[in-house]
Amino acid sequence: MASAYDSLRLLHLAAVIVSAAGFLARAALMLADSPALNRRFVRIAPHVVDTVLLAAGVAMVVLARLSPLAHPWLAAKLGGLIAYIALGAVALRYGRTRRVRLLALAGAVLAFAYIVGTALQRRPLWPLGAAE
């Protein structure tokens, strides 16, 4: 039988996939200048998915008794998450020009890749640090 941690991990991974797919779908809508980007579901669903994602991640950290201060890879993931959120907001909402939105979109995708790479390696990837 799966442990609570294993169940949370599966929930977290599923939420990562749904969150990334949703972000890319919204990016495609933004690039197409689609009015669908303003639909209620498109605006609300990412918050629900990301809340599940974050809650599962925090619960795993608590169950495993991990601390970002003691585990640099976890601190690096949090730093990458902050960059991803900020760049994603610029790409999808706050970028004033298409060029700014495209650059922010590219940065958000790179930040997401950094987060995933850091999680898989369980060590900070360049430029945020060396192996723990």
As a whole number, the mean pLDDT across the chain is: 91
**Interval 8-16 mean pLDDT:** 95
Predicted pLDDT at 111: 95
pTM: 0.86
CA distances for 37 relative to 20, 33, 76, 94, angstroms: 16, 8, 31, 14
DSSP code of residue 37: G
Share of the chain above pLDDT 90, in %: 83
What is d(CA 99, CA 91) in angstroms, rounded to the nearest whole number?
9
Cβ contact 56:105 at 8 Å: no
Percent of the chain having pLDDT more than 70? Answer: 95
- Tens digit of each residue's pLDDT (9 = 90 or more) over 66-117: 988 889 899 999 999 999 999 999 999 999 999 999 999 999 999 999 999 9
Q: How confident is the model at residue 2 (pLDDT cuts 50, 70, 90)?
A: confident
pLDDT in tens, 29-56: 999 999 999 999 999 999 999 999 999 9
**Residue 126: predicted pLDDT:** 67
